[in-house]
A and B are shown apart, each in its own frame.
Chain A
Amino acid sequence: MAGSTVTPAPARVTATPNEPLRLVVTADRGGELHAHGTQPELEVPVTAGQPTTAEFLAPAQPGLYEIELHDPDLLLFQLAVQ
């Protein structure tokens, strides 16, 4: 993330329920990575300029979930669990 631009551009990423996922985030500012719908809800601090790796399980229930960076809110991608 640079400024308010996310690369690659936000899209829908598919996963299966409880699939192990690994996410690497590099941002030009500090913040918090937040994966909605995960149990327990994933909230990982992100330091400016340093790659942050988060490992978590996809939500157990099928549906569409937002993976965001706070604050200000920036959508990284939508996780489509099916």
Chain B
Amino acid sequence: MRPVASSRQQVLGRIRAACCGGQNPAATAEEAAERYERLPRDYRTRGKSTVRACQELFIERLREYDAEVVECAPEELGAMIAAQLEASGRHMFVAPPGLPAGWLVPAAWQISDFEWNIDHNLPADEIERAQGVVTGCFCGVADSGTIVLHHSATEGRRVITLLPDWYLCVVRASQIVETLPEYFDRCDQPPALVTWISGPSATADIEMTRIKGVHGPRFLNVIVVNDREQGTGIRE
């Protein structure tokens, strides 16, 4: 039986021969990094819309995916969450451990009691029993209606936004950017875990007919919190 090391040597050896046999001599990591920095990039790296237009685009794109989207002021968030939960007709929710406590307090007028299961490493079948999930997010990309999760404490482990059928995501307006490159710009360093969500799960595998919700939540609700000054000027 061949030792594992030899496959590695073989493959790397072939690659080096292929790249360096002809033109350029073997690049070091530093040389490669230098060349990389010099690559021309003429594509759009920033959007041109106003803050308000960008937010509206984000909402429009989400609605195109049949997501339910509402806006609210920061002080209204708790009540808005409660209203959304109420309207869902569901009772058992899972939430990430870092979700602000104020988000989970039932409103005075509320009819139902909600059962909150905070995800302190819950086993999968318990999460499976939850009917819905509420989280925050890292960023929203307006161009494609994408919600980006880095799975921090307010966003939760990946499984909790996957198993329940109903997902409520709170997006602060200040988290919304217009273009995908702007999201990458916001990452001080690359995250270890990312989930980019652009609509409910879907398939078009049967006769190109788009069906929602194969696996993963079929219902996506978004609350956009107007947490910044709504200027009409172009963003800086």
A and B bound? no
Interface of B toward A, CB cutoff 8 Å: none
